[in-house]
Amino acid sequence: MRHNARVTHTAPPSVPVTRRDAQTDTYLNAQGEAVVVADPYRWLEDPDHPDTRAWVQAQSAHAQAHLGALPARDAYHERLSSLWNHVRPGVPWARGERYFRMFNPGLLNQPLLQVAPDPHGPWETLLDPNALSADGTVAMAEVSVSRDGQHLAYATQSGGSDWLTWRVRDIASRQDRPDELHWSKFSSAAWHPDGHGFYYSAYDAPAPGGALTAANSHQRLMFHRLGEPQAQDEPVIVRPDQPTWGYHARVTEDARFLIVQVWNGTDPRNLLWIRPLDEAGAFTELVAEFRAMYSVSGSDGDTLFVHTDEDAPRGQVIAWTLGGDRRTVIPEGPDKLEEVHVVPGGLLTLTLKDASHRLHLHGRDGTPQREVPLPTLGTLSLSTHASSPEVFYGFTSFLHPNQPYRVQLPGGTPEPLAAEALTFNPEDFEVTQDFAVSRDGTRVPLFIVARRGLPRTGTHPTLLYGYGGFNISLTPAFNAGRVAWLERGGIYVQANLRGGGEYGQAWHQAGTLHRKQNVFDDFIACAEHLIAQGWTSPTHLGIQGGSNGGLLVGACLTQRPDLFGAAVPQVGVLDMLRYHQFTIGWAWASDYGRSDDPQLLPTLLAYSPLHTLRPGTAYPPTLITTGDHDDRVVPAHSFKFGAALQHAQGGPAPILLRIQTQAGHGAGKPTDLIIEEQADLYAFLEAHLRHAAP
């Protein structure tokens, strides 16, 4: 049921007036009763309509008038430019006789892809994405080098969109071949061992005007032969009967098998299919139903080493023969098993202990052999090969940018491959880990980063960051903006909430569907813990989160507006009744449920930020950020929530929408836009959390 009579409301002169339509929708609850829900800002869902464009311009001007006048804005921009201007070498990986890495010498908008004959160099530029656009908004999203190191398949994304365009570069000549593949998304490239082509995933081209909003369905797995047009690519898996399935392909290192993980939205459970590499026909379905997560870490003849959480919520490793025999190699332990890599004679495991990484080497039979030492609590990214004892990894923490290391297994000492380049003194600050207690008694970890010896006066401007969803773990990582915040007397806190993956599937599931409120309770408990411990107070406490974390901030903002002095929901999922209508939104139902499910409708209505605003309530200063090319969480979420929050605001605090053009969900954003955005964000927080610069 829909009605479209127009009504308007009067807003303060400085706030753009947003038209309110008499649009309603009717849903059914579990009792079969009709539930009528108003949606007055439905018209903002069309990003290309002239009315929407005019509204975006007005909101942007309103936001920039406020942000541009913030006292600390220029100081943040200057300091952020300095903090970002340091050498950032990526983690090397080997293919054939060559080594590859991503590299940024300082303030390039996009990192370079480099190649060298040795991991110590000399490094030469193989591809410079900055040459692909004048403003740095074309980014290299995926790279895959053929096994012989002769060809590079690389995918670019434009303006932050998730859509990928694949090209192929000859590595020796540094020249692109004519190959060009369009309408790929959520895809890597898996090369055939002889280098004549690769597997990738794609969708049909969207209808005109639907590239940034139309629902994505019917992904198919394709094989592209070098030199042939995309129209001649070979369909490997096409399942018109399963529109929500997607496919991730890999080839075993012994070149015997093609393995496909079949995914269904963001549910971590997947199917596992296998067939001999160069044979056509049906796959052997090792896992034929969505019952758990399965990831093939490597193989040894007819035996696959499979990382799974089947009957092991924190993860285990099983050896699985093609004949169907299975045995446990590494059983479930006290910490979450996050990654498993097959290396010569052994298995290298990456585990999470209270949200920071540990690295262990095991024998092929699972026997523990050694723990690889790490500098401090932090996060690892690994690059390995089953046939090489040479392992590369990157290490980062809150106070240390990502630094590449090499270690020779089994007994080598980690060797840093680059000197750490810093423009601040990390010894000026300290990281502690604490635990809050949520409403139901659950212990919730949080990292607290502050100036060393900072007294607990209860007056420090504090930024609490969280996510809490989709089995994603928040681990210690470097961010230059946070350093600038710390230098000016702020505190940064990172909460590890249920819904994430920090403690395995039980922790994840405890923050999904009917249990989603646990995530918000955890975040609120962390805020109250910081106040009780004397770090801060409500007027000095800000909250921030992006994507699902934007939902977190929006929900906590509407549930406890008294608890926070400022809020920054970024690219948030804020309309829980219609999120599944756009692009890949339907895939999130495994965590959220859907409004067309009568059993879930009351739960969604109870926390959906757009639908829980109360007119006349004094909400804290709020900076809502989004990108006009976000085709992951479409900007309509932020548009509608921002308009509704401005309408409901019963206090004097500003409600601002910062809408970035030529930007998407975050991936591939050029450095200069990142610095601009973070300067606005931290200056906004500093001004509204009553923080005076030293």
Instruction: List, by residue number, the catalytic residues.
Output: 547, 665
Structure tokens at 58: 């007005």
CA distance 275 to 197: 18
Instruction: Put the strands of the sheet holding 368-372 in their side by side order.
Output: 336-343, 346-353, 356-363, 368-372
CA distance 129 to 573: 30
Q: Which amino acid is at 468?
A: G
- 54: burial class by Cβ within 10 Å (0-12, 13-18, 19+)? exposed
Sign, CA dihedral 476-478-483-484, equals: negative
CA distance 435 to 468: 16
Q: Which amino acid is at 356?
A: S
CA distance 84 to 109: 11
CA distance 213 to 211: 6
CA distances from 17 to 14, 173, 383, 647, 670 (A): 9, 57, 52, 9, 32
Enumerate residues 6+ apart whose C-beta is below 8 A from 271: 261, 262, 285, 287, 288, 289, 290, 294
Structure tokens at 20: 């309110």
The verdict on whether omega for the bond into residue 410 sits within 30 degrees of 0, i.e. cis, is yes
Q: Which amino acid is at 603?
A: T
CA distance 624 to 610: 13
CA distance 130 to 121: 22
Q: What is the DSSP string of 366-399?
A: --EEEEE--SSS-EEEEEEETTEEEEEEEEEETT
CA distance 488 to 652: 26
Tell me the angle at which helices 671-688 and 73-84 cross, rounded to the nearest 10 degrees.
140
Helix or strand (DSSP H, E) at 25: strand 24-28
CA distance 43 to 66: 26
- 435: burial class by Cβ within 10 Å (0-12, 13-18, 19+)? middle
Beta carbons of 442 and 499 less than 8 angstroms apart: no
Specify the residue for token string 């690059």.
383
Enumerate residues 6+ apart whose C-beta is below 8 A from 339: 297, 307, 349, 350, 382
CA distance 516 to 537: 26
